[in-house]
Amino acid sequence: NSASDSGIGARGLWSSKFAFILAATGSAVGLGNVWKFPYVTGENGGGAFVLVYLLCIFIIGIPIMMAEVFIGRNGRHNPITSFRLVAERNLASSGWRISAIVGMLAAFIILSFYSVIGGWAASYVGHAAMGDFTGGTAESVGEMFGGLLASPAKLLLWHTVFMALVVLVVARGLKGGLERAVTILMPALFILLLMVVGYATTTGHFGEAVSFLFNPDFSALTVNGVLVALGHAFFTLSLGMAIMMAYGSYLSRDVSIGRTAVAVAIMDTVVALLAGLAIFPVVFANGLEAGAGPGLIFQTLPLAFGNMPMGTLFGTLFFVLLLFAAWTSGISLLEPVVEWVEEKTSFARVGSAVIAGGACWLLGIASILSLNVWADVAPLGMFAAFEGKTIFDLLDYFTANIMLPLSGLLTAIFVGWFVAKESLKSDLALQEGTFGLWYNLIRFVTPIAVAIVFVYNLLA
C-alpha cells in the first residue's frame, strides 16, 4: 500500500497513527467540551440530555468523521482539491466540492471569533494567576468580565496574542508545528483536567455532580434539547469544517480510518464528561446555577475559585487548560485554509500561514467591536429573525446553523451515494458487520438526522 503514499512525498505524513489521533483530538477537544457542554447540559436537565448526546455522537458524529477523513486521505490535497479528485475518480460531478468550500469558509469565519474567545481564556489565565478572583463577589467577577468585553483595546490585545500562537504553530508545518504542539499540549491538558477533577472531589459535592450528569431525568428533556444535542455532536467533533479532511490528507494508508475515528470520538467524549465532573461540583458547592448559560465559565467559576481554598492555584490550572484546549482547536481551524493557500499560490508554508491568519485576525475585529462599540449594530435587523443580532451573533449563527450542517450533509450524501463501495471498504478497514452498519448510517440515518436539524434551525 505504500505505493499509493509515495506520490505525496513533499507534503509529508503524520509520523504515526497516534500523532493523527492526538491532533484530531486536539481539534475536537476545545471550548465546546469545557465551556459549552457543561452549560448546555445544565440548561437541558442533565443525564437524559447526556444520553441523547452520546447517541448522536455514535449515529451522526462518528460516521461523518470517517467520511471526512476518507476524502482527505483519498484525495491527498487541500480539502477542496481532495473533494474534486475523489469525485472525478468516482465519475461524480466535481461540483460536490462545494461541500469542502462551504466547510473551509466556515473554518475561516469560525476562527475569526474563536480567537476572540480564546483571547478571553488567555486573559483569564492572567487574572487567575494574579489572584484577581480572591474574595470575589458576584458583582466583582461580573465587572471583571464586563470590563473585558467593554474594552476593544483589551480584546484586541488578547485576540492578537491568541492568533499569533495559532499562526506560530501552523507556520512551522506538520511535524515541527502541529505534531509537536499536540504531543505537548494534549497530555498536559489531560493531566490538568484530572487535577481539577481531583480537586472537585474534595468539594463535598462530587456525588451530586455525578448524579446530575448520569441520572437521566427524561421529563427534563425537550425536543429542542434533542436538537441541541445533535448540533453539539457536530461542533464538538469539529465536523463540517473540512478539518478532518485536511488532517486526513496527511494520514498514512496503513491506518484504519474507522478505528481512529472511534478513538477520537471517545477521547472527546471522555474530556467533555470529565469537564462536567470538574465544573459541576464547584458549581453545586457554591450554590451556583447549573443552567447559568455561556457565562458559567467566565463568571460563575471565578466566583467559586475566588472563595475556595487553593482557588488561585486551581483557577489558574483551569484557565491554562481552557487556553490549551482552545489553542489546539484554533490550529486545526487554520490548517485547512493554510493547506489551500499553500497549494494554490506560490507562497510557502510560513507565508501562507501569515496571510491566512492575518486575514482571520482582521475579520475578528468585527466580532470584537460587536461586543462594545457596535453592540447595537444589527446588519440584518430588518429581518425579524435577525433582530438585535450583532455581527458576532450573525457569524456564529450562519456558521453553526447553516454552513456546518450543510457541509456535513453534502459530505454524507456524496460519500454514501456517489463513492464506490469497494473503495470505502478498503479505506475504512472495518470489520464486515461494522462496515455494513456505518454504510447504512452514512446513507440513511446521518443525512436524515442532519437534514431535520438543518430545517428546524432554519425555521426556528
**Rule CB under 5 A: which residues touch Na ion?**
28, 32-33, 236, 268
Q: What stretches of 151-309 show up as alpha helix (H) in DSSP?
A: 152-171, 180-201, 206-214, 223-236, 243-248, 257-285, 300-305
Q: Residue with the closest Cβ to ligand PHE?
A: 32
| Residue (14 or 235) nearer to Na ion, CB | 235
Among Na ion, ligand PHE, none, residue 110 binds (CB under 5-8 Å by kind): ligand PHE
The residue among 31 and 395 lying less far from ligand PHE, judged by its C-beta, is: 31
Residue (of 79, 61, 95) closest to 450 by Cα position: 61
For residue 329, the partner it binds in ligand PHE, Na ion, none, with Cβ less than 5 to 8 A by kind, is ligand PHE
Look up residue 45 and give its three cell numbers. 436537565
- The nearest distance, CB 265 to Na ion, in angstroms, is 10
**CB of 41 or CB of 236, closer to ligand PHE:** 236
Question: Got the DSSP string for 409-449?
Answer: HHHHHHHHHHS-HHHHHHHH---HHHHHHHHHIIIIIHHHH
- Footprint on this chain of ligand PHE (rule: CB under 6 A): 27-28, 30-33, 110, 235-236, 238, 241, 243, 329, 332-333
Tell me which residue has cell 467533533: 237
Instruction: Tell me phi and psi for residue 379, to 5 degrees.
Output: -55, -30
Minimum distance from residue 253 beta carbon to Na ion (Å) = 27
User: What's the closest the beta carbon of residue 440 comes to ligand PHE, in angstroms?
Assistant: 26
Nearest residue to Na ion on Cβ basis? 236
Compute CA 342 distance to the chain's CA centroid, rounded to the nearest angstrom.
Answer: 23
Q: Which is nearer to ligand PHE, 66 or 241 (CB)?
A: 241
Q: Which does 27 bind (CB under 5 to 8 A by kind): ligand PHE, Na ion, none?
A: ligand PHE
Nearer to ligand PHE, 87 or 245 (CB): 245
The item of ligand PHE, Na ion, none sharing an interface with residue 112, based on CB under 5 to 8 Å by kind, is none
Distance of closest approach, residue 69 Cβ to ligand PHE, in angstroms: 15
What minimum distance in Å lies between the beta carbon of 235 and Na ion? 7
In terms of C-beta density within 10 A (0-12 exposed, 13-18 middle, 19 or more buried), how is residue 385 classed? exposed
Choose between 42 and 136: whose C-beta lies nearer to ligand PHE.
42
* Amino acid identity, position 154: K
Q: What angle do CA 109, 407, 367 make, to 5 degrees?
A: 15
DSSP codes joined into one string, 322-386: HHHHHHHHHHHHHHHHHHHHHHHSS--HHHHHHHHHHHHHHHHHHHHHHTTTTTT--TTTTSGGG
**What cell numbers appear for 46 in the block?**
442533565
Q: How far is the CB of 113 from Na ion (least distance, A)?
A: 17
Closest distance of CB 121 from ligand PHE, Å: 12
In the list ligand PHE, Na ion, none, the entry touching 241 (Cβ below 5 to 8 angstroms by class) is ligand PHE
d(CA 160, CA 63): 36
Specify the residue, 32 or 47, whose C-beta has the smaller distance to ligand PHE.
32
